[in-house]
A and B are shown apart, each in its own frame.
Chain A
Amino acid sequence: MFKVIEGLKYSKEHEWVKVEGDRAYMGITDYAQKSLGEIVYVELPEKGTVLAEGDTLGVVESVKAASDIYTPVSGTVADINEELLDSPGNVNTNPYESWIAVIELGNLNELDTLMGAGEYEKFCEEEEG
């Protein structure tokens, strides 16, 4: 089973987005961390990087897999969670607290294309088959 939190937005690539004003916190979902297994490294973007929707924000690596994190929204990287460099396992233990980057949003309309909690839960169940 996997946890989905109300109030967050979700992408089909299993990222969560938490919007605060014109800034968005981003991380990977519980479903994503479970399918990756023990996370051993998180590659963070550089502050100030300008990203278009769908660009690679970073990489999450487990022992057996490496997964690109794509930003579902465009904007500028305002902050990164450097704590994850030393404690990548936080993504496993607390995926919704372990934000990877904060994006200063370029286009608020893009948020409308993301899923809500219920919709995402259904999406994951379908993906599991």
Chain B
Amino acid sequence: MRYIPNTAGQRAEMLEDMGIGSVEELFSGIPHSLRLNRSLGLPDALSEIELMAHMRELAGKNADADGYTCFLGAGAYDHYIPSVVRHLTSRQEFYTAYTPYQPEISQGTLQAIFEYQTMIKELTGMEVANASMYDGATAAAEAAAMACGATKRNGILTAYSVQPETREVLKTYSRFRGTTLNIFGYKDGRIDRDDLEAKLTGDTAAVIIQTPNFFGIVEDYAGLAELLHKRGTLLIVICDPISLALFKAPGELGADIAVGDGQCLGNAMNFGGPSLGFFATTAQLMRKMPGRIVGETTDKNGKRGFVLTLQTREQHIRREKATSNICSNQALNALNATIYLSVMGKEGLKKVALLCAGKAAYAREKLMKTGCFKPVFNAPVFKEFILEYKGNVGGLNEKLMKEKIIGGLEAGLFYKELENTWLVAVTEKRSRKEIDILAGKVGL
């Protein structure tokens, strides 16, 4: 067995050395009635050649973004990943290490996380960031829990224009934590402030909005934080980190917590995971922040070094009083994001954002010109937009699939009132030619 080095001879030698007759004796603590007295019913072991043949066969049954042109978004995106990201992340020292419990031999991971925290802080305009959460949706759920803890209130009010699965995760977490989750609506694709204010109560710990929201629309939420703070309510903003190269950051607009999904920062779509959730907040709320956090310090010789810090809130110390139960996070995905943002840098990320915005605008115009679509909303969008199709959207996507195009999302699956609408994502990877081909194939 190639992953098990000890030979039969060595095993015998070890047993003899220990004065034990057989490996079986070591399992004598497990009563016979609890033994599985048969072989596990699993397929026979495969060699490397056989395994890869099987895996290729399975992978070959999937339409992937290399062979197909992807216009699907709604929470996962086909962005460009620079080659160096994989090369660096696959270095085994990053890849095969675990949580940096021993800082002396984990400075690589620790410094990289420290740099990641700095980048997230910079992008969101917040004051502190943690080392990552599972994904954007769970980061939002953790933010909601933290807001309830910090304000000692029990209600969360979330925008209906927040990604539907994020709302579902919020619902699951709040149901079991015993907090309440209410929803306020949208008007012309943006948060309906009247509805928000009408639903705000003295027990509202936080309001959650998303920008760009599920419809791709950039929310204008200037003044919202001030309004909420007067009522003792916090503002949680879910955002697309690439969009933050162009648009006002949550921190600039007074948000208390900024979260989001970092898949777009150098992580493959992976059928929805692994991705990462980022989490940033104010200095005031720093000590209530869930998850792992890396801080700078010095060693006994005065040399700079990094350690996990503020860990006393964490599950291994606080047990049932911990602020969250998260342990393993998405460190490697956060490393992807750190390397991605290093490669893109200040100018590159802005360029990515501009390419997305420009191409999405072009695609929208081009699709409108076909006469097959009606606009749904008129507010400005970033890399995604929603249009109403004059035919059947499901049928359109099936037709496009045959043309090696992965079409947009049938938004009506999540929003009844948006029946037959198409949510189209256009990243920097889509060329004018691909967009033109798409527009040429949407005819009824």
Contact = CB atoms under 8 A, between A and B. Distances in A.
Interface of A: 40-41, 43, 61-66, 68
A40 B295 CA distance: 14
B312 A62 contact: yes
A31 to B, nearest CB: 20
A105 B318 CA distance: 30
Name the 8 nearest CB pairs between A and B, nearest first. A66-B312, A61-B312, A66-B318, A66-B317, A65-B317, A65-B312, A41-B287, A66-B313
Contacts, number: 17
A108 to B, nearest CB: 29
Interface in B300-345: 312-313, 317-318, 321
Contacts of B321: 66, 68
Nearest to A66: B312
A51 B366 CA distance: 65
Contact of A64 (B287, B313, B317): B317
B149 to A, nearest CB: 12
Interface in B272-295: 287
Contacts of A41: 287, 312
B55 to A, nearest CB: 45
B286 to A, nearest CB: 10
- Interface size range on B against A: under 10
A85 to B, nearest CB: 11
B101 to A, nearest CB: 12
A65 B316 CA distance: 10
A63 B312 CA distance: 7
A61 B312 CA distance: 7
Nearest to B312: A66
A97 to B, nearest CB: 24
A76 to B, nearest CB: 17
Contacts of A66: 312-313, 317-318, 321
A40 B317 CA distance: 15
8 contacts: A41-B287, A41-B312, A61-B312, A62-B312, A65-B317, A66-B317, A66-B318, A68-B321
A65 B318 CA distance: 8
A68 to B, nearest CB: 7
A63 B321 CA distance: 17
Contacts of B312: 40-41, 61-66
Nearest to A40: B312
A62 B317 CA distance: 11
B296 to A, nearest CB: 15
Contacts of B287: 41, 43
Q: Which of B287, B312, B313, B318 has the most CB of A within 10 A?
A: B312
A41 B313 CA distance: 11
A40 B287 CA distance: 12
Contacts of A43: 287
Interface core residue of A43, A63, A68 (most chain B CB under 10 Å):
A63
Nearest to A63: B312
A68 B318 CA distance: 10
Contacts of A65: 312, 317
Contacts of B313: 66
B291 to A, nearest CB: 16
A30 to B, nearest CB: 21
A42 to B, nearest CB: 11
A113 to B, nearest CB: 25
B330 to A, nearest CB: 25
Contacts of B318: 66
Nearest to A41: B287
Nearest to A59: B312
A37 B97 CA distance: 29
A68 B321 CA distance: 10
A4 to B, nearest CB: 26
A15 B287 CA distance: 23
Nearest to A62: B312
Contacts of A61: 312
Nearest to A56: B321
Nearest to A60: B312
Nearest to B307: A63
A43 B288 CA distance: 11
Interface in B96-142: none
B151 to A, nearest CB: 12
